[in-house]
């Protein structure tokens, strides 16, 4: 179910110019079964990095003020967008009305035994589940995946293969990394879901991307 944005002209341009991480990297021909993820952060980072949506460069979002450290590789899926369809699916599954997509690419967390020293890289991964996270009436799903051929996690096919410790550590991070003293958190995780729902969220985010950026393919073909 890969997209068609990476046509021959776009590929030739990629030899001369760096591809935009969100728009210029293909999510993969085998999506949603396996996907190409862009990694923004690794567990050793003490600063939160995220891609600047305009330039495509990795920017400093904010220093981590407290002891929260992302417990796995963290980034997003290129050419995805959490829009109307993702929001509707979150509403349907959570029972909460009027949930909207958060207007960002779909977040992904990647399990691996290896120490990856920095972000701003891409990796082929296999989704195994996710967290249905809602932050202030916005769907903010976190897909959980494993690094392809990883010695420890590579054989996992569903989030049920993960230990409670691993799942609990991920859940704790996402529920607390934005916390500030004196402010009430609006984030909640309503469900932990398996691989089939993860695939559905990914497909919906790919469709939302095509709807949001419906003219982008034509633009690239005429550059």
The better pLDDT of the pair 132, 136 is held by 132
d(CA 17, CA 14): 5
Look at residue 210 in the predicted model and tell me its pLDDT: 94
CA distance 99 to 129: 20
Work out the angle at residue 61's Cα, subtended by the Cα atoms of residues 55 and 62, and round it to the nearest 5 degrees: 160
How confident is the model at residue 182, as a pLDDT? 53
The pLDDT tens digits for 133-168 are: 999 899 999 999 999 999 999 999 999 999 999 999
Q: Which helix (H) or strand (E) element contains residue 127?
A: strand 121-135
> What would the pLDDT profile of 86-118 be if each residue is shown by its tens digit?
999 999 999 999 999 999 999 999 999 999 999
Map residue 43 onto helix, strand or coil: coil
**Residues 31-83 pLDDT 10s:** 999 999 999 999 998 888 999 999 999 999 877 666 678 899 999 999 999 99
Say if residues 113 and 155 touch (Cβ distance below 8 Å).
Answer: no
User: What pLDDT shows up at residue 2?
Assistant: 47
């Amino acid at each position: 179910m890969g997209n068609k944005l990476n046509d021959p002209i776009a590929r030739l341009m990629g030899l001369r110019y760096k591809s935009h991480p969100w728009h210029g990297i293909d999510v993969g021909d085998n999506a949603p079964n396996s996907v190409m993820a862009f990694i923004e952060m690794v567990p050793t980072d003490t600063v939160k990095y995220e891609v600047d949506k305009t330039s495509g460069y990795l920017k400093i979002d904010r220093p981590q003020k407290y002891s929260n450290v992302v417990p796995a590789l963290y980034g997003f899926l290129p050419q995805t967008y959490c829009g109307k369809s993702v929001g509707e699916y979150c509403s349907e599954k959570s029972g909460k009305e009027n949930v909207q997509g958060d207007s960002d690419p779909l977040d992904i967390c990647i399990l691996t035994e290896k120490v990856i020293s920095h972000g701003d890289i891409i990796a082929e991964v296999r989704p195994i589940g996710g967290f249905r996270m809602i932050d202030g009436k916005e769907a903010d799903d976190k897909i959980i995946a494993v690094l392809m051929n990883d010695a420890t996690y590579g054989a996992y096919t569903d989030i049920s293969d993960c230990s409670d410790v691993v799942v609990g550590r991920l859940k704790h991070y996402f529920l607390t990394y934005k916390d500030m003293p004196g402010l009430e958190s609006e984030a909640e995780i309503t469900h932990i879901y398996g691989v089939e729902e993860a695939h559905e969220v990914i497909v919906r985010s790919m469709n939302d991307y095509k709807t949001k950026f419906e003219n982008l393919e034509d633009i690239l073909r005429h550059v």
